[in-house]
Structure 1
């Protein structure tokens, strides 16, 4: 059986390396132009070349997002840009707009994935893209398991990619006007202000200063606020459909989110293809450890009900664990250099997230702080500092260290 690809977000080079470390088969990322994450670091031309070379050295793949809905004045630079992407060997581009699709076809032989922004929810539209020359279609989020099965049956000769984890948009496949209308920031060109996450109250026209909550809660209402997508509990059903790529959303999320999601889904996928699949409740526990707005399975079972939205639940994020440090380098048999992400104390009980198996408990020893002035043994280290430590257990560079949070957000 052909294995489905696990596709992870890479907002920068560090996230790309972390995604591959924890088991991603491919990443999607954006350059400095033409992609829908203007707020992300993104990759300049040299960084794109470095990313592709790094991925290919590990037999991994890189897809570049060209998924904006462009205006006329944004098209001039596109031909040279796609030629450059082909020159450096990217494995494909992600396109939403027919004009961009045509430019890519006219100037390169790049593999084209049709973006979820194209809102493909039926087999006829998927077949049309296949006939135009697309290699893959990223199906819209607004689609059920049954619909995917029918598309797979009626269009067997094109790759299908589906979202399995990450933020959900209140608009159809992200085509939102709220941000542009309210702030002048165009969601369809990568600059969404996430207006759907704001707090709203009802105002009656003749009483402009009276703000009335739509429900009995002093915090406001979140009528546009979807829960996050999580399919770890039904990942076997999605794999049963014969899809080619499972996509995790989140190029603007941190390394802990990306790495943790990749590790959990990779473990489930491996068990599926080994014929040993059985849902493990600890997978959801691990997914809950990263920042989230609580979870829904979206449209996979058909039209979602009220439980898929945070109408009167919460707008803030929740997580059970906090990233403390990342192992930057192994410098001896049991000696490591750590990059500190949150303040840490000697004597703390922490967990190391390795590439396989359950988290491994450690007690943080005294640390040697590395500064320009020299080295100093310390009992506490602050964010953005670098320390050396001795840890028993045979860990690897890029393994993460976390703590259990004492209080929930």
Structure 2
């Protein structure tokens, strides 16, 4: 069965990803991870996260995908032993140092990171013969090559299906290093490719419109069925820095696509899933390299496309079936208006918010304090981890 692999920047996101449909999550510890600015997991978090996942039949992979310099070697074996003790299901690594150390000194399963740019059969077979069980292909590859590789190797193949696309080849970029002294390959990427730049000619600014060179995000809604037919083992969503709501929305969308295709052999309405994804705060999207080299239509020139959305207004913590009041942790400002309940278990439902009380049990018409636990009257049963959305603008 095809695995749906989701990002999780902290323990709460791990739980949300699994509840909303992920078969596995990938997380970062406090060392050797390429997302140094994510919350990341302590040893205690790792143990709790693995138990939460394993109790539900899910898996946890830990990123150890930095490209270490000489000084970064210290503590590697000890750290890998901690991951082994926490019972993580695999590590994701790019450096031969980390890969070889894990294979020699632990029983950890090793997956080869996309940072290794595995784009052909001999490369995949090389890592498989070294002892790795899975290879994450580079994102610079089309569907035909993915199919050829998958059918001619014994290793499991993992492919990115959604999220940010790096302007550097397989993520190996030095722009951040040169312009901000933050090493992208050791967890410090400043996303320099998304900046605006002035183009100059003979010392003069050539145009009033700034230049940018970032890629549109990847979205493979219509490619999932082909990837499943090809035999790809794992479909990977990028975004350990993303919000709870983003993770829930994207994971649940792809979960439903995979399940519908598994159960019926076809997708009835792609527009439904594309509309679901619009609820997440993301940039413009494209199909990336899936149909060959990207054209200008897959790039963001002279603009940025981030949409800061505030439609995620509350996380449901509890529900009283007698009073029909839900305990809600507020996430964004909302008022007495139409609200949508987004759930991993059933189709979304809308209701008119007619009654709210703050944490002091005082009647309110506007919920404005972040992370306050308030009471909201919802005329139908809801469950913990369901989410409240306001109308999207």
1:384 aligns with 2:371: yes
User: What is the DSSP-based 3-state SS (H/G/I as helix, E as strand, rest coil) of the residue aligned with 2:300?
Assistant: coil
Q: CA deviation at 1:276?
A: 3.9
Shift of 1:320: 7.1
Matching residue of 2:142: 144
Q: Does 1:115 align with 2:101?
A: no
Mapped pair 1:100 → 2:98: yes
Q: Aligned pair in 2 of structure 1 residues 219, 393: CA closer, same or farther (>3 Å)?
A: farther
Question: Contact conserved, 1:7 with 1:248, CA < 8 A, in 2?
Answer: yes
Tell me what 1:71 maps to: 69
TM-fit CA distance, 1:335:
2.7
In 2, Cα distance between the equivalents of 1:319 and 1:242?
A: 36
Out of 100, 123, 126, which is 1:125 matched to? 123
Alpha-carbon distance in structure 2 between the residues aligned to 1:47 and 1:57: 15
- Alignment match, 2:206: 212
Once the two structures are TM-superposed, the CA of residue 204 in structure 1 deviates from its matched residue by: 2.5
Aligned partners of 1:289 and 1:319 also within 8 Å: no
Moved segments of 4+, more than 6 Å: none
1:188 corresponds to 2:185: yes
Identify the residue that residue 5 of structure 2 maps to in structure 1: 7
Q: Is the 8 A contact 1:290 1:319 kept in 2?
A: no
More deviation in 315-324 or 123-132?
315-324
| Structure 1 match to 2:160 | 163
Question: Counterpart of 1:265 in 2: which secondary structure?
Answer: helix
Q: Secondary structure at the match of 1:302?
A: coil
SS at match of 2:16: helix
Instruction: Return the alpha-carbon distance in structure 1 between the equivalents of residues 69 and 55 of structure 2.
Output: 37
1:53 Cα deviation after fit: 1.0
**Which of 238, 247, 251 is the equivalent residue of 1:258?**
247
Query: Is the Cα contact below 8 Å between 1:288 and 1:320 reproduced in 2?
Result: no
Deviation of residue 91 (structure 1)? 0.4
Q: Give the equivalent residue in structure 1 for 2:133.
A: 135
Q: Summarize deviations over 1:192-221 as a string: whole Å, max 9, x none.
A: 00000100111234x3xx3233xxxx4512
Structure 1 residue 279: Cα displacement: 4.5
Within 5 Å, give how 1:12-23 maps onto structure 2: 12-23=10-21
TM-score, normalising length from structure 2?
A: 0.96
Name the CA distance, whole Å, in 2 between partners of 1:230 and 1:198: 22
Instruction: Return the alpha-carbon distance in structure 2 between the equivalents of residues 12 and 115 of structure 1.
Output: 20
Conserved in 1, the CA contact under 8 Å of 2:199 and 2:210?
no
String of CA shifts for 1:361-401, please: whole Å, max 9, x gaps: 1112321211xxx4322111112222012212221111111
TM-score under structure 1 normalisation? 0.92
Counterparts of 1:88 and 1:356, CA distance in 2: 29
* Contact kept in structure 2, 1:121 and 1:140, CA below 8 Å: yes
3-state DSSP class of the match of 2:145?
Answer: helix
Matching residue of 1:26? 24
Equivalent residues of 2:338, 2:352 under 8 A apart = yes
Question: Which residue of structure 1 aligns with residue 291 of structure 2?
Answer: 301
Equivalent-residue separation in structure 2 for 1:385 and 1:146 (angstroms): 50
CA contact 1:230–1:296 (8 Å) conserved in 2? yes
Is there any run of 5+ residues in structure 2 with no aligned partner, and where? none
The aligned counterpart of 1:284 is 274
Aligned to 1:81: 79
- Who is 2:392 aligned against? 405
